Amino acid sequence: MESSTVTSKGQVTIPMEIRRALGLRQGSKVAFAQKNGKVELRVVHRAPESVVSGFGMLDARGKRLPADFDAASLLSPARAAKGAR
């Protein structure tokens, strides 16, 4: 039987062996029930194994640019001519 210490915030670490057996990862949801002096842990929702989509994960700071933006348009005319050679 594995054991864990309760922190000052009431948190415990679920041992790795149990997390693996239940398929628990960061973001998984669990529920607790008390029955006959024992506590039961149930998996409510398992977090996806891998990221399905990265859309919205990164936040762009500063001015947003259109998709058809050409970085060369930022060069000075002299530098742009120099690069065209």
pLDDT tens, position by position, for the chain (85 residues)? 888 999 999 999 999 999 999 999 888 999 999 999 999 999 998 887 766 667 767 777 777 767 777 777 777 776 656 666 5
Q: Name beta bridge partners: 40.
A: 33
Distance from C-alpha of 85 to C-alpha of 70, rounded to nearest angstrom: 18
Nearest Cα residue to 26 out of 46, 4, 52: 46
CATH 2.60.40.3880 is right for the domain spanning 1-48: no
Tell if the pTM clears 0.95, that is, is over it: no
The domain locations on the chain are 1-48
- Both tokens of 49, joined, read 């194994």
CB–CB of 40/32 below 8 Å?
Answer: yes
